[in-house]
């Protein structure tokens, strides 16, 4: 109701834009934790943007999907909803949003630009982390400094430790609860311990390259709250990107401890996830090769090849093969974009 009211008011001002995509996906039905994918699934993403002036904007990202991954309220929801004020140097954003860290999820609505499914690192950030707060950044002569204060995300860290890393595009929505084991869930929007989390980042952007360092601290207390178990997670991410002509090289590496407290005993797990990709754009298609390395309780690797056909028009067929720990996943996707 609030989204419809927002859209109606914004459209009256003549600055409303709708965009998004619908996709139909078929796979071989891989059933390992890392590569799990339904044999047939569909998603619909809709972005509503209102920009009454060059200095102010509002954004809402809506999502509907057939595969809810056994989550509570997982079929439909709001992925992002924020207001933004900006000028040449400063940008202020308030609401629920993705943190500006990814080098691969750079398309509209935080979609991977080079593959069908994202790396293990960005799969985790999309599935378990969604700051709800205020983000501020300052950019001058290619240098950017930014910081975020947010609520929620108290359970951030449970997925890779308890359930295991995965490589899928299941973006958590506001109010959704995703199972991490038979007893507990994770939720990006639940605030249990009333302690604000924070993040800081610094970046350099050149003509063809970008380097960024990000620190995330959810300041979770590591205690159980009903069916939600808080995790105290501190995570650093260093990322880089280089583009030359039709070629793109991108890489990210993240590491840090995550803890919980059970009957007064503190248990800490060191998390680590990295990937590197090389992608080339051709006149009518894009080909990408990506290598992943990730560790929580176990150490795993994965290799992904993606072929995205980009003919004129709104349709984009795609094909992706991922292999990890002796298992293989094959995905064929048909995507229709609208705006």
Do residues 168 and 36 lie in contact, with contact meaning Cβ atoms separated by under 8 Å?
yes
**Residue 237 CB neighbour total at 10 angstroms:** 25
Angstrom distances, CA of residue 276 to CA of 63, 104, 239, 252: 28, 10, 10, 7
In a domain, 264, yes or no: yes
Nearest to 285 by CA among 306, 266, 260: 306
In a domain, 11, yes or no: no
Own/partner contacts of 222-226, CB < 8 Å, gap of 24 or more, are 222/259, 222/260, 222/261, 222/266, 223/192, 223/193, 223/260, 223/261, 224/184, 225/154, 225/190, 225/192, 225/193
Q: What is the pLDDT of residue 13?
A: 54
Q: Region 121-139: what's the mean pLDDT? A: 99
Do residues 25 and 332 lie in contact, with contact meaning Cβ atoms separated by under 8 Å?
yes
Q: What is the pLDDT of residue 5?
A: 47
In a domain, 193, yes or no: yes
| pLDDT confidence bin for 222, thresholds 50/70/90 | very high
- CA 89 to centroid of chain Cα atoms: 25
State the CATH number of the domain containing residue 37: 2.40.160.10
Which residues span the domain enclosing 209?
17-338
Q: What is the pLDDT of residue 15?
A: 87
Tally of domains in the chain:
1
In a domain, 318, yes or no: yes
Q: What is the pLDDT of residue 228?
A: 98
| pLDDT confidence bin for 75, thresholds 50/70/90 | very high
In a domain, 2, yes or no: no
Per residue in 171-214, pLDDT (tens digit) is: 999 999 999 999 999 999 999 999 999 999 999 999 999 999 99
In a domain, 176, yes or no: yes
Q: Region 136-152: what's the mean pLDDT? A: 98
């Amino acid at each position: 109701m609030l989204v419809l009211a927002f859209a109606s008011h914004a459209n009256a001002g003549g600055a409303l834009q709708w965009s998004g995509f619908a996709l139909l996906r078929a796979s071989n039905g891989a059933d390992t934790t890392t590569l799990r994918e339904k044999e047939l699934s569909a998603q619909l993403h809709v972005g509503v943007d209102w920009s009454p002036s060059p200095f102010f904007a509002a954004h809402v990202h809506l999502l509907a999907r057939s595969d809810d991954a056994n989550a509570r309220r997982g079929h439909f929801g709001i992925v992002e909803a924020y207001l933004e004020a900006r000028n040449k140097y400063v940008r202020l954003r308030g609401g629920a949003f993705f943190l500006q860290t990814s080098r691969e999820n750079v398309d509209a609505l935080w979609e991977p630009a080079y593959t069908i499914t994202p790396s293990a690192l960005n799969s985790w950030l999309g599935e378990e982390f969604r700051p709800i707060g205020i983000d501020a950044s300052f950019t001058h002569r290619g240098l950017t400094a930014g910081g975020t204060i947010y609520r929620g995300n108290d359970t951030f860290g449970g997925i890779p430790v308890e359930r295991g890393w995965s490589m899928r595009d299941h973006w958590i929505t506001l109010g959704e609860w995703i199972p991490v084991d038979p007893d507990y869930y994770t939720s990006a929007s639940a605030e249990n311990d009333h302690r604000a989390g924070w993040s800081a980042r610094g970046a350099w952007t050149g003509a063809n390259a970008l380097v960024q360092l990000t620190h995330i601290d959810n300041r979770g207390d590591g205690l159980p709250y009903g069916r939600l178990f808080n995790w105290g997670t501190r995570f650093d991410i260093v990322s880089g990107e280089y583009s030359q002509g039709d070629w793109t090289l991108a890489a990210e590496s993240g590491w840090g401890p995550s803890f919980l407290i059970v009957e007064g005993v503190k248990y800490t797990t060191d998390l680590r996830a990295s990937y590197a990709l090389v992608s080339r754009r051709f006149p009518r298609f894009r080909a990408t090769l990506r290598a992943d390395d990730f560790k929580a309780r176990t150490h795993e690797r994965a290799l992904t090849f993606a072929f995205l056909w980009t003919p004129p028009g709104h349709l984009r067929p795609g094909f992706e093969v991922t292999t990890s720990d002796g298992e293989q996943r094959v995905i064929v996707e048909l995507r229709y974009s609208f705006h």
